[in-house]
Structure 1
Amino acid sequence: MVDEQWLSGTAQSRVDKSLARIREQQSVWILTDEHGCVMLTTEDEEGVPVWPQGDLAALWATDEWAHCEPLAISLKDWLEKWTGGMLQDDLMVMVCPLPGEDGEVLDPEDFAQQLTKA
């Protein structure tokens, strides 16, 4: 069950809470299907949606994404493998989107720097 704190507030407040939870849990959650990681496209950007916990990712898995499953990636792997790969592929990080909202869009390097702040 998703805590109501995640469903209220601004996208920026979800980013702040997400960063804190990811640092605490040492994992980033994505959605996957038979083709790999789910990608999102906004008007201006293409990227990978990420969440601080699996139940939030599962909220997004509706309609055309109903077949997708949440997957945890260790923070270490995210920082060592995903950040560089996303920069190379010119992809952004979409932090904690919820149904009807895209979430905040961050550069992978900025996201990584914020995750490693003490």
Structure 2
Amino acid sequence: MWKSSGARSGTMTANLSTGATYAGPFFQITSETTIEELGPLWTGWGNRWRWRGWAYWGPTQSTLTHYSGRVLANLGGPDGQMRCHFRLMRPGAGMAGGGQGRCQLPSGTIIDATFPPT
């Protein structure tokens, strides 16, 4: 579930099959996105931005370049932060077009994730 708070950002909630719920900000990365706008993505990760093989996660230009046209999220839950990246199914429609991607749980486990078109 997601709720937009602007043209390229908002909040997202993920309910896992385990019963755990994670929630936090998401950002659609476009050519206008700045590193400063993405500050909430790094909350809770300390210096572990590239933790456990998750490349391009950190406040750098390479993050913006690699994830251009995608959505990034940093969701807090009962045992820490879960980070996600999604490819939009219909980029022109933004989040409303749905997306699919992957999330990394605090344990390091990577799961497939989707959000349907609205």
Q: TM-score, normalised by structure 1?
A: 0.29
Structure number with the bigger relative contact order (C-alpha 8 A, sep ≥ 6) is 1
Structure with bigger strand share is: 2
Q: TM-score, normalised by structure 2?
A: 0.29
Structure with bigger helix share is: 1
